[in-house]
Structure 1
Amino acid sequence: MGSVLIDRSSWPQDGRIGRITAGEYAGSYLLLAAEINDSWAFYISEDPRTGKVDELEADDFWATEEDTPLLVEEMAVDWAADSEDEALEKEIFDIRSEWHKRRRRGSMIRSLFRRPGQPD
């Protein structure tokens, strides 16, 4: 795990996951994803592997482009290595699979309404 520059242009489409080490959510995991209209989504969850799943503390909220780096800095997020990101997300949140389904449905719908000769 390590520090990461929060930059919309280079941020992974599926977000990044890290462990929060300071503040109100210390010990929980953060999945940070760039959203539309210059906002960022913060998905926060305790680790379901260490406790009772029905008693997990979780939260989510959105922040502006300006506020996001400061919030992440205050949380002292320790980002997962790229090689660990996918497995951690699946174990902690498992919401990317739903995002992928929605994207596929969206592209299928667009292709249904595409005019002949119109690019995808």
Structure 2
Amino acid sequence: MEPVLIDRSSWPQDGRIGRITAGEYAGSYLLLAAEINDSWAFYISEDPRAGKVDELEADDFWATEEDAPRLVAEMAVVWADESQDAALEKEIFDIRGEWHKRRRRGSMIRSLFRRPEQSD
């Protein structure tokens, strides 16, 4: 499997899902998303389908643009196939729906305060 380039310009807006295979989070899933100010959000969760949901180990943290590729490499992340990404995110994290709502609200607010185009 070819390594995935951790690059903000080509990274999906909703992040990517992968399985962590090394380190303290081995066996958990990672949702990696590009954030503002040159940072990356690491959302980590055990698989809720494999145990009791109220006993899941989970974590999240932010890393700099420079540290993110190294951390992903250290975790030995195996990325999900893009065709499975959305379903896995919904089953494991279920946070993209909230992101979409916030984006819609933000764009609605911006459109309210946009200046009308001047006509000729």
What TM-score results when the alignment is normalised by the length of structure 1? 0.95
Unaligned runs of 5+ in 2: none
Instruction: Report runs of 4+ in structure 1 exceeding 4 Å deviation.
Output: none
Letter aligned with residue 20 of structure 1: I
The aligned residue for residue 98 of structure 1 is: 98
By how many angstroms is 1:23 displaced?
A: 0.2
Identity of aligned residues (%): 89
Letter aligned with residue 99 of structure 1: W
* Larger Rg over CA atoms: 2
> Tell me, what secondary structure is at the counterpart of 2:103?
helix
Aligned CA RMSD, in angstroms, stands at: 1.2
Whole-angstrom distance in 1 between the partners of 2:114 and 2:67: 38
Q: Is the 8 A contact 1:41 1:62 kept in 2?
A: yes
Letter aligned with residue 26 of structure 1: A
By how many angstroms is 1:12 displaced?
A: 0.2
By how many angstroms is 1:2 displaced?
A: 6.1
> Tell me, what secondary structure is at the counterpart of 1:89?
helix
The aligned residue for residue 74 of structure 2 is: 74
Figure out how many residues of one structure are paired with residues of the other and give that number: 118
What TM-score results when the alignment is normalised by the length of structure 2? 0.95
